[in-house]
Amino acid sequence: MPASAAQADTPAVSQVEVIIGPDLAAKVDKLGQREFDYLARDLKRTVERRLKRSGGLTASGGRLRLVIDDAVPNRPTPLQLTSKPGLSMESFGNGGARISGEYVSADGASTPIRYRWYETDVWQAQYAATWSDASLAFDQLARRIKDGQFVKD
């Protein structure tokens, strides 16, 4: 697809807001607030970077509100390591994330956003950092948003 056609589908966004959803926030005692702060920053930075490269990040655009509904780490978080003696940083598993939200265009039209991705092959997890699969899910969502594709169940 020519670059101009891809840019035509890119939504105009002036503001990206990321929050932690209530289901994930309920796990703060298990994962740690620091991890939620990291995830929110990572998703915001990833989406803004992708939109900026495609010309979609503009002062006259709409608002993108994203909610991280679920995130599963590939490795234990620091809080998990201190609260569960049997865990080590060598422990690993499949991770991923589920994100929802909405895009409100400059003219006020609202479009829902839904995306989820979880790794299914544990073989890859042995090479992953704590939030590698969640970060991969964020990048895949950012690509879809850039292309104007807001829903994938």
Q: What is the structure's pLDDT at 128?
A: 80
Q: Which positions of the chain have pLDDT values less than 70?
A: 1-8, 153
- Say how many domains are in the chain: 1
Q: Does 2 reside within a domain?
A: no
| φ and ψ at residue 50, rounded to 5 degrees | -65, -45
Tokens at 152, concatenated:
């994938």
User: Which residues have a Cβ under 8 Å from the Cβ of 93 and sit 6 or more positions away?
Assistant: 72, 74, 75, 122, 125
Q: Is residue 1 part of a domain?
A: no
Assess if residue 137 is contained within a domain: yes
- The DSSP element (H or E) to which 72 belongs, if any, is strand 62-72
How many Å apart are CA 29 and CA 33, to the nearest integer? 8
User: Which pLDDT belongs to residue 153?
Assistant: 63
Classify residue 54: in a domain, yes or no. Answer: yes
In angstroms, the CA 21 to CA 15 distance is: 19
Kindly state whether residue 153 falls inside one of the protein's structural domains.
no
pLDDT at 8: 55
Residue 4 lies in a domain: no
pLDDT of residue 2: 42
- What is the pLDDT, as a whole number, of residue 46? 98
pLDDT tens-digit readout, 112-132? 999 999 999 888 777 788 999
Asked if 48 and 11 count as a contact pair (C-beta separation under 8 A), the reply is: no
pLDDT of residue 102: 97
Tell me which residue range forms the domain holding 40.
Answer: 10-96+104-146
Q: Which positions ≥6 away from 67 have C-beta within 8 Å? A: 18, 19, 20, 21, 99, 100, 101
Residue 152 lies in a domain: no
First to last CA, the chain: 24
Whole-angstrom distance, CA of residue 43 vs CA of residue 51: 12
Could you give the CA distance from residue 53 to residue 26 in angstroms, rounded to a whole number?
A: 35
151 belongs to a structural domain: no
Q: Which amino acid is at 143?
A: R
pLDDT score at 91: 86
